[in-house]
Amino acid sequence: MDHGKITDKNDMVTIEQCGLIILGNSGVGKSFLANVFVGREAFAHKFSSSSVTRATEFEEIELGDLPFTVFNIPGLIEAEQERIDLNKREIDKAFSLRPNSIVMFVFGHQGGRICEEDVVAFNAINAAYRFQPESLVLVVNGLPKRRPSNYEGSTLVLLQNLLQGTSVNNNNVCFLDLINVNDLNERQHLKEKLLQVFVECMPSEHHKEQEIETLVDQLKQGTQRIKELQAQIEAEQDKYKKEIEEGQRVFNQTMTNHQTEIESLQRSIQKQDQLYAEQQCRYQEENKRYQLELQDLRRKAEEAQRYYEKLRQEQEIKQEQLRAAEAARQHAHAMYQALLAQAAPSPPARRKKKHWWK
């Protein structure tokens, strides 16, 4: 599958295919997660103080039986207005190429606290394209494995209050642990967690309703408002205690159900693998027996061929002997006839009769 950067020259990508548009600010791990979906290092990613992705990149993949175009897009918020405007155009380009898409927005964190800039970026893009609940995945990425037991519940409540006009629940939020990127088992487990949420989504049409708010001053003001609102919610945790506990309970139950489904699926896979191994073993045994029988038939056929050749050669020798005998008989007969001719007596000579007048 081809990987490339979308430019005016290759805008011929068909729009019937579904898209997976990965959004988020720089440094939240969009490129890495895109690589996890693709299954190889298709997009550049590294630890950096500046944006690594400068232009929209895409990769064609298949998830299940459906073809998807995975878009890796630059983050919206940058220090310079010029970069923000460029990033905005790249976001618009992805939605214009694949309006029928699933949107995955990736949030970063600082010590577990959702970054205000990420909330501002989400609200700005959501206001422009109005994300549909059935096609939205929210990812909180790079979390420490050791975190408070109520972290997921409190973060769910926080996002419900911070994300404008968005339904936030256990079905569309995915909490991902910080992993060793070189550990294939951890990468596979991460992909499975993403797919658990992803399979619950359906692509939907996204059409631009307004421009993405991109002025630096407005973004800064929005960031400050989100920061204050987040501090207020954290200060009033007692007010949201029941919601947090219920959210955490539902999240834990969802994770337990997912784990049960995964274990059941793994058992099913193991059983299928066992059946396959048994069938493979039987096939190998039958194939071995067939090969032995085939070798025996070939050996018998070769023996029969050799016997036939021997008989044919003997027959040719006998026929040659018969021809020689016939030639000898004919020669002997001719000689016999010649001898007979030589041995036969000559008939007596006839005497002339004399007349009386002579």
- Tens-place pLDDT, residues 269-307: 666 667 777 788 888 888 888 898 889 888 998 988 988
Cα–Cα distance, 312 to 224 (Å, whole number): 105
Min mean pLDDT across 39-48, 102-111, 240-249, 267-276 is at 39-48
Is the pLDDT at 160 greater than 90, yes or no? Answer: no
What are the residue ranges of helices labelled H in 199-240? 216-235
Q: What are 58's strand-pairing partners?
A: 4, 71
- Beta-bridge partner residues of 173: 138
Does the pLDDT value for residue 155 go beyond 50? Answer: yes
pLDDT over 80 at 347, yes or no: no
CB of 136 closer than 8 Å to CB of 201: yes
pLDDT over threshold 60, residue 5 = no
Estimate to the nearest angstrom the gap between the alpha carbon of 257 and the chain centroid: 26
Q: What is the pLDDT of residue 10?
A: 42
Give the per-residue pLDDT at 73.
Answer: 85
- Establish if 263 belongs to a structural domain: no
Question: Residue 14 above 50 pLDDT?
Answer: no
Q: How far apart are CA 118 and CA 107, in angstroms?
A: 6
Number of domains in the chain: 1
Please give the Cα distance from 24 to 121 (Å, whole number).
7
What's 345's DSSP letter? Answer: P
Euclidean distance between CA atoms 338 and 49, whole angstroms: 125
Position 252 in a domain = no
136-143 and 100-107 as β-strands: parallel, antiparallel, unpaired? parallel
- CA angle (147 as vertex; 119, 134 as ends), nearest 5: 45
What's the whole-number mean pLDDT along residues 154-171? 85
Q: Which structural domain, as residue segments, surrounds residue 230?
A: 3-239
Of 354, 320, 150, the residue nearest 245 (C-alpha): 150
Query: Is 259 inside a domain boundary?
Result: no
Asked if residue 51 has pLDDT above 60, the reply is: no
Q: Band the pLDDT of 131: cuts 50, 70, 90.
A: very high
Name the band, by pLDDT with cuts 50, 70 and 90, for residue 237.
low
Contact call for residues 43 and 34 (beta carbons, < 8 A) = yes
In a domain, 182, yes or no: yes
Residue 349 has pLDDT above 70, yes or no: no
The CATH number linked to 32 is 3.40.50.300
Q: Kindly calculate the radius of gyration of the chain based on its CA atoms and give it in whole angstroms.
A: 46
- The C-alpha atoms of residue 130 and residue 125 are separated, in whole angstroms, by 8
Q: Which CA distances in Å does 129 have to 205, 211, 212, 277?
A: 9, 9, 9, 50
Residue 33 lies in a domain: yes
Whether the per-residue pLDDT at 240 is higher than 80: the answer is no
pLDDT at residue 259, rounded to an integer? 66
Q: Which of 356, 354, 157, 116 is nearest to 248 (CA)?
A: 157
Instruction: Report which secondary-structure segment, H or E, holds 305.
Output: helix 241-343
Half-sphere exposure of 224 (CA within 13 A, CB side): 6
